[in-house]
A and B are shown apart, each in its own frame.
Chain A
Amino acid sequence: MSGASPPSPPSRRAVVGRRVRKVDGFKLVTGRTAFTDDIALPGLLVGRILASPHAHARIRDIDTRRAKALPGVHAVLTWKDVPRVPHTTAGQAWPEPSPYDTYLLDSKVRFVGDRVAAVAAETRAVAEEALRLIEVDWEVLPPVLDMEHAMDPGTAVIHDEPDATGIRDAARNLAGDIHTHIGDVEAGFRESDLILEREYRTPRQQHAMLEPHIVICWLDADNRLVIRTSTQIPFHVRRQVAMILRIPVSRIRVIKPRIGGGFGGKQEMVLEDLCAALTLASGRPVKLEYSRHEEFFMARTRHPQILRLRMGVKRDGTIVAHHMRVLAATGAYGSHCTTVQGNTGSKVLPLYRAPHLRFDCDVVYLTTPQAGAFRGYGCPQGYFAQESLVDEIAHELGMDPIAFRLKNAIRQGDVDELSAQLGEGKKGLPRTIRSCGLPECLEKGAAAIGWKEQRNGGVRRPGRLLRGVGVATTMQGSGIAGVDFAGAFLKANEDGSFNLQVGATDLGTGSDTVLAQIAAETLGVSLDKILIYSSDTDFTPFDVGAYASSTTIISGGAVKKAAEKVRDDMCCFAAQLLDAPPEDLVCRDNRVFAPGGKSVSMAEVAVHALYKEKTQVMEGASHFNTDSPPPFCATFAEVEVDTETGRVRPVHLVTAVDLGVAINPMQAEGQAEGAVAQGLGYALAEELVLDGRGRPANANFCDYKIFTAKDMPKLTTILVETEEPLGPFGAKSIAEVGINGVAPAVANAAFDATGLRFRRLPIRPDAVLAALGGRR
């Protein structure tokens, strides 16, 4: 077949690199039916979960007779009624690297909000009345709420069940641990002129996505189980539900409509298993959804961590050794426990090319809400610590923080060997830096924030309002090297349009638009000719799902390959019409051109193929990478600290990000801005608070403080484009990297303003005021 058109230079691209509107924007802003809940099914039952009121307890007995007898109740399930299959809810490629420590329903509860029983009834009111009629005989066990004491001898054992697998040391509540190194840090410290060791603490953050978890299940006419769900991982869900309910994969169809946000919270099978079980038990369609209140503590959170970092440097600012020790809490179950924490090491430490690196990490169980995947996936914690420490060291050395970072940062051509040791649950692959725009990010970001003019220097000046600026440099990945893969399928229609079917999941990221742009550009057609559909396990090819900043590079890679095949097919048929060799033809503007300028429309080619040649042009392709090219980011913050109240007000946030080539700059900027909003919440306000019994105290949008439009500072987003050889059209990723640097940039700016370091998130005004000396 033809090699057809050579790669088009960026300036000639018609669709990629353009600020096109989202392909699904119109239906979203006009309120068309797009989401999981937007269907009406006859006979739909409402499912409700009886949540544990105790952080840690055993169910001695549970009596559901009164609930079952209530008119309108069609199913009541407890641990007695369902298969006991140890599994993880983490939406990860098989075999999942998370422990199998979770059960559909269990005779033990491990956090306030854990599943006790589930009911399906004709109305929500009846379902809730039924929950009240369930009688539970509790044996209340001691809660385990403090991660620093979770492994102490004599502490209650959270996972004492015999059938769990993959737990590092259940008797010590140790879910997983990681110990890895490069070189010899102790030798490195001996060579160092300055060593600093500091401790940092990060909170439990909640995803707070617009659409809570929701699932609707039914049995279709062939008695197959259909799961319509708001998920980032439809194919993992199919596999997990099949395993948990002991039914073949072939008997399950997962439909993923448009998702109303996820941020990693839906990289997890959260309600699908239980909703499916209720459908199987009742024979009726069932809807199961979390209320906003439930979403806060019955879904997932970011892992809280305590990080202790020790860094040794030469007098000239060269980093010699860095030892990071992390204690993290995974909550009641271990989904994503070692992979999130592995990232805290593998995507953070290698940013600086020290010869001696060491990473030690324990992840403990607590009787608290379950942690899981969350935008940044371990990096926001690690970067808050590392970028705060690096800033402090630069200050100690009298070096400009930007110069210090540039001196030590990883650069093009470098090979990061730590990644090879910290793959997802196994030995990974070394990471070669093929594109790096970090110096340009720092340069342009510094100019935008006014680095030279606005810097205060970390000294306390007189006056009530103090201003300062700070910086943080970060990176992330683009997919999981050697693990993430995706398929894409394209077919041609007689009007010159193409159906693009992908298993990728657009959760508000804009991936449907980006993937359609990649297909349109490759085929030489306008964006409106691409009809993208995502995703349905019956009709779209496999995709691991939307996570790890993978969709553009991995799913996009598959789309590009499939589109190239279809383009070649179209050229073969066009060659017959144009009387020219297929390899000389060029596709653009919805037409196929011969060298002399003669052309036919895509529609004519498609009609010819279909009705004359009796051939459906259709191609599929798969894609994966053995490397995960990091996007790089420099985040700058200007803050104002009120010395009378201790409040830290962000004034200006600059995000300069190397994302490879931006397939859609408008959407890329939106991703960066959204990451800043979520990062500011992490830095200054957001924390799921638990009381002394493990109960959430602020599980609602009134008391859990996400940043509002009124709280947002001035934002500047700068896209620094580099050409990444492994990405489609040179793209890397943008979804996660932008959140990593916000908290440390704010903390460093607060230092610049006051001379004080804040090492605990969120940075609270009472702590700031106390540090300022609480004058008067």
Chain B
Amino acid sequence: MMRAPDFRYYAARSVRDAAAALEDGGNAAMLLAGGTDLVPNMKRRTQTPALVIGLRGIGELRGVRAGGGGGGGGGGRRAGGLTLGACTTLAEVAAAPAVGRRYRALALAAGQVATPQLRNMGTLGGNLCLDTRCTYYDQSEEWRRAINWCMKAPGSNGGHACGTPDGASLCWVATSSPRCWAVSSTDTAPALIALGATVTLARVAGRRRLPLEKLYRDDGMAYLTREPGEILTAVHLPAAAGWRSTYWKLRRRGSFDFPVLGVAAAVRFATGGAVADARVVLGAVASRPLVVPEAATLAGSRLTDEAIEPVAEAAAALATPLDNTDFALAWRKKMVRHYVAGALRELRDTPS
């Protein structure tokens, strides 16, 4: 059995308390909510915080409340919508009636993360901040030492195994690349982006709110725009009147597996049945969730196969799967088109 290295654990009592500890801890500190991502990484030594700040005891971070949806652009305050505490478990999110009724994509995405046991521990905020994944990264320390590390996890004492090239500054997925190609593997982020979610980040100096989409960067290492000292505290969903949404997850098995493709689709229908607004977001085909801009072309259509096809095509063109997850990459790229088309057809064919 692999075991985590020694670390100090601080059980924070409030967001303010946690933020202060995080600021004090600097680079050596990390946050722990459910622990289902961080703890395995600690065992593999890909993340080795000396200080772990536990958020589990902070009541204000848990639960689903009506209101607070607002709108990132400074619309009406507390105008409808839903606010989810970042430490609400994925099981709670999936089962919340308010989520299932109006934000189906989120319920589907949260309900398909990993396994029931992990969803009982894992949290919404944790899934949004999930470490990016890669064949060359999610390996034991011995394995990574044997390949002489990689740029995302360059090893504690640098590479010195002879006979192998220096990997500590390389991305083994694309060895000539200056960047890391680890894959964004969160299920809930594509769903929430499609639903127009915003998030609150808190630090000692104050809070800020930003569209969830802006939380991510297309970089396998610095994949979050979260700044040092910031804690993701809440997710806000705007009012959902007229919207229908869904989430399709591609993985090998019916349980356990991270997505090798996630497709979230949300469509608002105008009275009369034409599409007023549509969003499609892809997961697990890049280092960040990818918004498919061509979804906007669905506006005015009746979601016919003819209207859907170019959007599915564009989504497939946008996706950049690489050879660092399960399944052959060419096949994964092909699947983008089928899953996008399938998700949109489902929204057309399912009565609200």
CB distance from B165 to the nearest CB of A (A): 11
14 extra A-B contacts, CB within 8 A, seeds A140-B162, A293-B142? A53-B142, A53-B145, A138-B163, A293-B2, A293-B139, A645-B338, A695-B143, A695-B146, A697-B135, A701-B256, A702-B138, A710-B254, A764-B327, A765-B331
B1 at the interface (CB under 8 A from A): yes
CA distance A51 to B163 in the complex (A): 16
Show 21 A/B contacts (Cβ-Cβ < 8 Å), sorted by A. A53-B145, A53-B146, A57-B163, A112-B146, A138-B163, A140-B162, A140-B163, A291-B2, A293-B2, A293-B142, A293-B143, A644-B342, A696-B143, A702-B258, A703-B135, A703-B138, A705-B326, A708-B254, A710-B253, A764-B327, A765-B331
Determine the chain B residues whose CB is within 8 A of the CB of A644 once the complex forms: 338, 342
CA separation between A159 and B209, bound complex, in Å? 64
A292 adjacent to B146 (CB under 8 Å): no
* Chain B CB within 8 A of A646 CB: yes
Residues on A with beta carbons closer than 8 Å to the beta carbon of B257: 702, 705
Report B's interface with A, CB cutoff 8 A.
1-3, 135, 138-140, 142-143, 145-147, 161-164, 252-258, 326-328, 330-331, 334-335, 337-338, 342
Question: Number of A-B pairs whose CB atoms are under 8 Å?
Answer: 77
Chain B: interface secondary structure?
loop
CB of A743, distance to nearest CB on chain B (Å): 17
Evaluate contact between B2 and A766: CB separation under 8 angstroms. no
CA distance A698 to B257 in the complex (A): 13
Bound-complex Cα distance A54 to B161 (A): 10
Most chain B CB within 10 A, of A51, A53, A700, is at A53
Point out residues on A near B: beta carbons under 8 Å.
Answer: 51, 53-54, 57, 112, 124, 138, 140, 291-293, 644-646, 685, 695-703, 705, 707-711, 764-766, 769, 774, 776
Which chain B residues lie closer than 8 Å to A57 at the CB level?
163
What residues on A are CB-neighbors of B255 within 8 Å?
Answer: 708-711
List the A residue with the shortest CB-CB distance to B142. A51
Q: A53-B161, A112-B146, A703-B326 are in contact. Are A685 and B256 (CB under 8 A)?
A: no
CA distance A292 to B44 in the complex (A): 12
- In angstroms, Cα B2 to Cα A602, docked, is 52
Bound: A764/B327 CA distance, A: 8
Are B328 and A764 interface neighbours, CB within 8 A? yes
Looking at the complex, which one of A645, A685, A699 makes contact with B143 (CB distance below 8 Å)?
Answer: A699
How many Å from the CB of B187 to the closest CB on chain A? 15
Task: Note all chain A residues with C-beta closer than 8 A to B140.
Answer: 291, 293, 699
Interfacial chain A residues near B138, Cβ < 8 Å? 700, 702-703
A766 x B253 contact (CB < 8 A): no
Question: When chains A and B are docked, how far (Å) is the Cα of A140 from the Cα of B161?
Answer: 11
Q: Cα distance A31–B331 when bound, in Å?
A: 44
Complex Cα–Cα for A696 and B330 (A): 22
CB closest residue in chain B, given A707:
B253
Closest chain A residue to B163, Cβ basis: A140
Q: Tell me the complex Cα distance, A699–B330, Å.
A: 23
Complex interface: chain A residues within 8 A of B342 (CB):
644
Q: Within the assembled complex, what's the spacing in Å between the Cα atoms of A727 and B139? A: 48
Contact of B327 among A695, A708, A765, A774 (CB under 8 A): A765
A705-B252, A708-B253, A708-B255 as given contacts; A769 in contact with B334, CB under 8 Å:
yes
Q: Which residue of A lies closest to B338 (CB)?
A: A644
Which of A696, A711, A776 meets B253, CB within 8 Å? A711
For B341, the closest partner residue in chain A by CB is A644
Cβ–Cβ contact A54 & B163, under 8 A: yes
* B258 neighbours in A (Cβ, 8 Å): 702
Contact B147 A695 (CB under 8 A): yes
CA distance A452 to B330 in the complex (A): 38
> Min CB distance, A108 to chain B, in Å?
15
A124 and B327 in contact, given A711-B253, A769-B334 (Cβ under 8 angstroms) = no
Contact of B326 with A766 in the complex, beta carbons under 8 Å: no
* Residues of A close to B327: CB separation below 8 A: 764-766
Provide the residues of chain A in CB contact with B3, threshold 8 Å: 124
Q: With a CB–CB cut-off of 8 A, which chain B residues contact A709?
A: 255
On whether A711 and B254 interact (CB within 8 A), knowing A53-B161, A765-B331, the answer reads: yes
Chain B neighbourhood of A698, CB < 8 A: 135
Could you say which residues of chain A place their CB within 8 Å of the CB of B162?
Answer: 138, 140
Q: Kindly list chain B residues whose C-beta atoms are within 8 Å of the C-beta of A54.
A: 163
A766–B256 alpha-carbon span in the complex (Å): 21
A769 and B331 form a contact (CB under 8 A)? yes
Contacts of B146 in A (CB 8 A): 53, 112, 695
Chain B residues in 8 Å Cβ range of A708: 253-256
CA distance A764 to B335 in the complex (A): 14
Closest to A705 in B: B252
Contact yes or no, B328 A291, CB < 8 A: no
